Structure 1
């Protein structure tokens, strides 16, 4: 079968590889349909391996060369003898986290926190940028009839932002600032609105992405810190002039985190969503003086798929708005990875049609 595999930084190859064999007792064979290119995939392409192991992963055995793709959907081709949750022909969205069911976190249903966590498409033998994949039964989540297979490929990145919204404690009527207008930042805007936020600010240095963001939610306020005093605008447009209730850092950089800390009101909440490439300097005085709650947000609960699917299917969280291009697997490097790295920022979420 054809698959896009990571070999090293700037070295992703579309190759012919052996297809998966028959599924084991608890496994599901999936014919992949749509797969998104994630920011994590871009980081691997630019400077990897980062999450991709160079030696066999302790739980899954995955390693370089790695089939990429953890945001994907497909149709069940075959199931193992003990699988009862799906059957051949079912449309599924892949929840990509793989971990023990019986370790400290697994016994508590917090599978994403396991110290042996692996991720399909990053530290697992299979991934979504291929014709087929072999996953565990708990990875293949059946989709409702009112959600397309294309939409199902958007559940994983959307779950990141819904979970971050939970971490931030966003309530109806809250004001929110989102730093970063990439795909996660724009999905974060929609997740905050779905949770009831009424005044939402989106901050980015790229005017193209800010312009694209105006179609997301009614009344969105977009601000470019290169040409606007963001803190002055935020204070002028929030109740009492004190700042936002919750701020989300969706870039993974030091400056946006500092901006979030300044932009929230006293006893506000800052949620770190983006993965910081290196330890940032943090203004501990402001954090303490403003009595701010700083929270990390690691991916999502793996149990969220039905909730997120319902949000997308109902239109309350129209994740499809971030999709800007569909491509073929053969074009994944030039029309996918390289296009997303273009500083013009004209592409957001690119889906590979398999």
Structure 2
């Protein structure tokens, strides 16, 4: 079968690999239909290996070269003998986190925090950018008829955004700042609107991405941090100049984090989603005198898929508006990675037709 495999920095290839020949009793064979290109895939390509590894993963045994793709949907081809929740022909969206069920984190369904877990498409033998993938039964969540495979492929990044908004404590009518209008930032905008945000401020230096946020039609206040003070503008537009109730940092840089800290009101919440490489200077004194909460947000509860599916079905969470293009496996670099890595571009999400 054809598969996109990552070998190392700037080294992604279209390979012919053997199809899965056997599945365990608790496993499911899935034929991939659509797979999203994630920012994590792009980071692997430009800076990796990061999440992928040259040494075998302690749980899965997977090592480079790695079949990429952790945002995907597909159809069930076969199920193991102990699988009762799925049958061949079912359409599914893949929740990619897996790991042992023992120990403190594993027993709490949080293996991705244990250091012993794996992620399909990053540290598991299979990924969504291969024609077939073997997953555990709990990784494959059945899709209803009124949710498309394309929407199903976007549930994973949507779950990241919904969880970040949950962590912010945003209430209906509340105010929120989102820094960085890449795919996760844009999905966080949609999730904030679905959560009932009264006002959404978005800080993004790229005019093309600001235009994409405007096209979402949620009425966000768009800010260019290169030409105006984000904090001053927010103080002007919030009651008594106190700032926003919450901020979600999706840009992955220290300046944006500082803006979030300065923009939230006293006892506000700052959620950090963007991945920052290396150290960044911080001023904890600000946190103390404002009595604010700084909250990290990694992944999502593994049980969130049905909730996100229902949000999509309701029309409150139109994730399909993020899709810019659908490409073939063989075009992964020229029509996928390269335009998504363009710092002046507007593209949010490219789906690979597998």
Please tell me the TM-score bracket, short chain as reference. Answer: over 0.9
For 1:183 and 1:297, locate their aligned partners in 2 and report how far apart those are by CA, in whole Å.
16
Tell me the secondary structure at the aligned position of residue 105 of structure 1. Answer: helix
> What is the aligned partner in structure 1 of residue 66 from structure 2?
66
Equivalent residues in 2 for 1:297-308 (5 A)?
Answer: 297-308=297-308
Deviation digits for residues 172-216 of structure 1, max 9, x if unmatched? 011000000000000001111111111000111100000111122
> What is the aligned partner in structure 2 of residue 171 from structure 1?
171
For 1:229 and 1:240, locate their aligned partners in 2 and report how far apart those are by CA, in whole Å.
18
Tell me the secondary structure at the aligned position of residue 108 of structure 1. Answer: coil
> What is the aligned partner in structure 2 of residue 183 from structure 1?
183
> What is the aligned partner in structure 1 of residue 149 from structure 2?
149
For 2:114 and 2:168, locate their aligned partners in 1 and report how far apart those are by CA, in whole Å.
22
Aligned residues: 354
Are the aligned partners of 2:190 and 2:218 in contact in 1 as well (CA < 8 Å)?
no
> What is the aligned partner in structure 2 of residue 124 from structure 1?
124
Tell me the CA shift for residue 280 of structure 1: 1.5
For 2:273 and 2:29, locate their aligned partners in 1 and report how far apart those are by CA, in whole Å.
32
For 1:322 and 1:228, locate their aligned partners in 2 and report how far apart those are by CA, in whole Å.
27
For 1:108 and 1:217, locate their aligned partners in 2 and report how far apart those are by CA, in whole Å.
39
Tell me the secondary structure at the aligned position of residue 150 of structure 1. Answer: helix
Residue 279 of structure 1 pairs with residue 282 of structure 2: no
Superposed structure 1 runs of 4+ greater than 6 Å apart: none
Residue 75 of structure 1 pairs with residue 75 of structure 2: yes
Are the aligned partners of 1:92 and 1:141 in contact in 2 as well (CA < 8 Å)?
yes
For 2:38 and 2:279, locate their aligned partners in 1 and report how far apart those are by CA, in whole Å.
22
Tell me the secondary structure at the aligned position of residue 104 of structure 1. Answer: helix
Q: Which runs of 5+ in 2 are unaligned?
A: none
Tell me the CA shift for residue 57 of structure 1: 0.3
Are the aligned partners of 1:112 and 1:301 in contact in 2 as well (CA < 8 Å)?
no
Tell me the secondary structure at the aligned position of residue 285 of structure 2. Answer: helix
Moved more, 124-133 or 209-218: 209-218
Moved more, 40-49 or 231-240: 231-240
RMSD of aligned residue pairs (Cα, Å): 1.0
Are the aligned partners of 1:161 and 1:184 in contact in 2 as well (CA < 8 Å)?
yes
Are the aligned partners of 1:32 and 1:75 in contact in 2 as well (CA < 8 Å)?
yes
Moved more, 232-241 or 259-268: 232-241
Are the aligned partners of 2:112 and 2:118 in contact in 1 as well (CA < 8 Å)?
no
Equivalent residues in 2 for 1:95-114 (5 A)?
Answer: 95-114=95-114
Residue 35 of structure 1 pairs with residue 35 of structure 2: yes
Residue 348 of structure 1 pairs with residue 352 of structure 2: no
Residue 270 of structure 1 pairs with residue 270 of structure 2: yes
Tell me the secondary structure at the aligned position of residue 268 of structure 1. Answer: strand
Tell me the CA shift for residue 164 of structure 1: 0.7
> What is the aligned partner in structure 2 of residue 251 from structure 1?
251
Are the aligned partners of 1:112 and 1:302 in contact in 2 as well (CA < 8 Å)?
no
Tell me the CA shift for residue 273 of structure 1: 0.7
> What is the aligned partner in structure 2 of residue 336 from structure 1?
336
For 1:8 and 1:32, locate their aligned partners in 2 and report how far apart those are by CA, in whole Å.
24
Equivalent residues in 2 for 1:39-54 (5 A)?
Answer: 39-54=39-54
What TM-score do the two structures reach when normalised by structure 2? 0.98
Tell me the secondary structure at the aligned position of residue 32 of structure 2. Answer: strand
Are the aligned partners of 1:92 and 1:152 in contact in 2 as well (CA < 8 Å)?
yes
> What is the aligned partner in structure 2 of residue 324 from structure 1?
324
> What is the aligned partner in structure 1 of residue 6 from structure 2?
6
Are the aligned partners of 1:155 and 1:309 in contact in 2 as well (CA < 8 Å)?
yes
For 1:17 and 1:348, locate their aligned partners in 2 and report how far apart those are by CA, in whole Å.
30
Are the aligned partners of 2:91 and 2:143 in contact in 1 as well (CA < 8 Å)?
yes
Tell me the CA shift for residue 282 of structure 1: 1.0
Q: Which runs of 5+ in 1 are unaligned?
A: none
For 1:116 and 1:207, locate their aligned partners in 2 and report how far apart those are by CA, in whole Å.
41
Moved more, 94-103 or 124-133: 94-103
